[in-house]
Amino acid sequence: MAIPNFNVCHKLELLKEEGKSGDPKHQEGEGEEEEVQSYEFQEMLESLPKERGWRTRYLYLFQGFWCQSKEIQAIMSFQKHFKSLQNDVVLATIPKSGTTWLKALTFTVLNRHRFDPVFSTTDHPLLTSNPHDLVPFFEYKLYANGDVPDLSGLASPRTFATHVPFGSLKDSIEEPGVKVVYLCRNPFDTFISSWHYINNIKSEAVSPVSLEEGFDLYCRGVIGFGPFWEHMLGYWKESLRTPEKVLFLRYEDLKQDMESNLKKLASFLDVPFTEEEEQKGVVHSISDLCSFENLKKLEVNKSSKSIKNFENMHLFRKGEVSDWVNYLSPPQAERLSALVDDKLGGYGLTFRYN
């Protein structure tokens, strides 16, 4: 199978409307490339509540979650133009909860008859492509920069990814048979992973976010695609309401028992492992191929960029559960713990921290 290649049909008319309504304004965006925007978009942006951003000057409260202006443009384009098809698969996460891992696993499970993970020593796409190249994000790849991609040539099941909360995704995936896999990670590790990542990738023009400042923003819900509790709850509730449509997985469970979670994933996607495959070691091979240790050491994950401006190497830091204990003070841990209990405790959404 060729690695997906997405042709751009046309630019979203919302963007880059130079000449349509006078001089277009420029996006603020400390550390980001300047981009020409329409007055309509700029006006809409200015009407939104905003807070200090983590790697751009501002985060805006859009459709009830915090995100950057470029993400808003892409999400609007996605919401307007994307048409789901039966059997589409959408991988959903809040950033730093194991997106890269989930992409690797899902791609390998769905394509295992083309690319045998048991004999994958040299020719499996994961060995030469970062998982983000194999399963594209709606908002960072397909619909980024006002692009409207031609997705008609993609083989079924088409597999996509997103960070948007369920409320902003649901209208786009109404087609029967569309499946969503959500990967959730405990908020403590997700915060620490986000804090490291953002300070690694942010441009020098943006002042670093200290641990204290980042922690306070996180606890107030101000993080990309947050508040984290609303993101998690949206998918959690939907997984309880329509378990055939939304599968809710946990990072910590994958760490502890990859094989049974891989079986759960394959069954949910209607491609369960056969007994013969299990005996042949397919499940085990997928787990090995997608492991943190294996992916981290690959050249493509050490030296390339799959998403503009983001070096792949920063996607593979430690890959552990409970690294947060090395960073958060006891009062910080207490504050976050109380917040998690308060926001999620009543819904039966619990986490393991070791």
Site of interaction with ligand PAP (CB under 6 A): 93, 95-101, 189, 193, 196, 290-292, 295, 315-319, 323
- 86, containing H or E segment: none
Closer CB to ligand PAP, 41 or 248, in the complex: 248
Chain mean position to CA 213: 23
| Min CB(199)–ligand PAP separation in Å | 11
DSSP 38-68: -HHHHHHHHTS-EEE-SSSSEEEEETTEEE-
Angstrom distance (rounded) from CA 266 to CA 261: 9
| Min CB(197)–ligand PAP separation in Å | 6
Closer CB to ligand PAP, 147 or 189, in the complex: 189
Q: Which of 26, 81, 113, 163 is catalytic?
A: 163
Residue 331 neighbours by CB distance under 10 Å: 8
| Min CB(316)–ligand PAP separation in Å | 5
Give how far Cα 210 sits from Cα of 101, 124, 222, 353, Å.
Answer: 27, 40, 14, 24
Q: Of 258, 286, 261, give the one whose Cα is nearest residue 113.
A: 286
Chain mean position to CA 144: 14
- 150, containing H or E segment: strand 147-150
| Min CB(319)–ligand PAP separation in Å | 3
| Min CB(113)–ligand PAP separation in Å | 22
Query: Coil, helix or strand for 147?
Result: strand
Q: Of 234, 233, 205, 229, give the one whose Cα is nearest residue 218.
A: 229
Q: What does the block give as tokens for 186?
A: 């405990």
Closer CB to ligand PAP, 189 or 277, in the complex: 189
Q: What does the block give as tokens for 217?
A: 């923003």
| Min CB(301)–ligand PAP separation in Å | 9
Q: What does the block give as tokens for 15?
A: 């963007």
Angstrom distance (rounded) from CA 114 to CA 117: 9
Q: Of 120, 95, 77, 113, give the one whose Cα is nearest residue 183.
A: 95
Angstrom distance (rounded) from CA 304 to CA 288: 22
Asked if 81 is an active-site residue, the reply is no
- Could you give the residue numbers annotated as active site? 163
